[in-house]
């Protein structure tokens, strides 16, 4: 699926799917490169490695549960406007 | 089939998350048609994406700043001293590394290539004379030790004699110089008396 949602991608990556994890790393490469460009040339590679490693740890440790759904939010909003 | 453009604009909520979700025409349509299940699924995707992206951005930003700070500090503490240009009046622009002594040149080469004579080193006339009274071998030993800055062991290597012989030669030469200069020799070292 070309436009897989981030939610299902992360969920697969967390479950140990290597290709999903690769895809996540690819998607966040521009973000990481932004910082890598600020490093001295000789350290750039090390920094990219460290940040990528950090990204992978973050993905693995991320808690997927969302605190509320659409209905909860709409009801909360309606209560707020009605009162 | 309903066109998204003809849909009534959904109620404006104060919650930015709801607004951004309903800004999507397809979500508006689902909302108006009360497709609860599909809405929940799409909302979860949308909400998750926003939460996850901000989580990752925040943490990567923090980590990157931390690492970059460390790199900058390292840069200050351990600058590449040897690659720094040597500043001198002529502005030759040598990198310091090119001025390091070439340790690959053998001790012999360094000795043969010497240009400084031991007796030329002093402006003290008495010392100059005293130096010239030394035997050539003693002169050579002193030259190796004090002009070339070799250790006794290295000098011994050059002269193909033992280190002890170098030490003895040095001791004798210095003793002789002291005597000529009228300096009272310090109490002879007990160690040398044993020999």
Banded pLDDT at B81 (limits 50, 70, 90): low
Best mutation site among A10, A38, A66, A70 for testing chain B: the one with the most B CBs within 10 Å? A70
CB contacts of A32 in chain B (<8 Å) are 60, 64
> Which residue of B lies nearest to A56 if distances are taken between CA atoms?
B56
Banded pLDDT at B48 (limits 50, 70, 90): very high
Q: pLDDT value at position B94?
A: 60
Taking only the tens place, the pLDDT of each residue in B14-40 is 788 888 888 888 888 888 888 888 889
CB contact (8 A) between residue B60 and residue A10 = no
Whether the predicted model's global pTM rises above the 0.80 cut: no
Banded pLDDT at A4 (limits 50, 70, 90): confident
The alpha carbon of residue B79 and the mean position of all alpha carbons in its chain are separated, in whole angstroms, by 6
Exposed e or buried b per residue across B170-189, where buried means at least 16 C-beta atoms within 10 angstroms of its C-beta: bbebeebbeeeeeeeeeeee
Bridge partners, residue B95, by sequence: B85
Taking only the tens place, the pLDDT of each residue in A32-63 is 999 999 988 888 999 999 999 999 999 999 98
Taking only the tens place, the pLDDT of each residue in B87-119 is 555 555 566 666 666 656 566 665 555 556 666
CB contact (8 A) between residue A31 and residue B57 = yes
In order, the DSSP letters of B48-64 are HHHHHHHHHHHHHHHHH
CA B158 vs CA B57, B110, B113, B144, B169: distances in Å = 66, 10, 14, 9, 14
CB contact (8 A) between residue A10 and residue B52 = yes
Domains and CATH numbers, chain A: 6-82 (1.10.1740.10)
A49 in contact with B, Cβ within 8 Å: no
Q: In this structure, what are the phi and psi dihedrals at residue B85, rounded to the nearest 5 degrees?
A: -70, 135
Task: Report the C-alpha gap between B114 and B145 in whole angstroms.
Answer: 13
């Amino acid at each position: 699926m070309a436009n897989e949602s981030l939610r299902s991608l992360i969920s697969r990556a967390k479950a140990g799917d290597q290709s999903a994890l690769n895809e996540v790393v690819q998607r966040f490469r521009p973000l990481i490169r932004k910082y890598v460009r600020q490093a001295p040339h000789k350290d750039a590679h090390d920094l990219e490695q460290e940040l990528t490693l950090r990204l992978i740890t973050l993905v693995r440790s991320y808690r997927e549960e969302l605190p509320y759904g659409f209905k909860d939010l709409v009801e909360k909003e309606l209560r707020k406007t009605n009162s | 089939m309903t066109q998204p453009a003809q849909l009534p604009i959904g109620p404006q909520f104060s919650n930015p998350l709801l607004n951004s979700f309903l800004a999507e025409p397809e979500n508006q349509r689902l909302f108006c048609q009360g497709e609860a299940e599909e809405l929940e699924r799409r909302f979860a995707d949308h909400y998750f994406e926003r939460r996850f992206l901000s989580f990752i951005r925040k943490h990567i930003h923090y980590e990157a700043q931390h690492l970059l700070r460390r790199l900058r500090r390292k840069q200050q503490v351990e600058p590449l001293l040897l690659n720094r240009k040597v500043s001198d009046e002529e502005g030759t622009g040598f990198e310091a590394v090119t001025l390091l002594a070439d340790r690959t040149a053998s001790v012999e080469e360094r000795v043969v290539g010497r240009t400084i004579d031991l007796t030329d080193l002093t402006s003290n006339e008495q010392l100059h004379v005293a130096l010239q009274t030394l035997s050539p071998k003693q002169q050579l030993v002193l030259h190796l030790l004090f002009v070339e800055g070799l250790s006794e062991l290295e000098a011994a290597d050059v002269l193909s004699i033992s280190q002890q012989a170098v030490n003895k030669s040095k001791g004798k030469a210095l003793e002789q110089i002291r005597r000529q200069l009228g300096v009272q020799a310090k109490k002879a070292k007990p160690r040398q008396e044993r020999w």
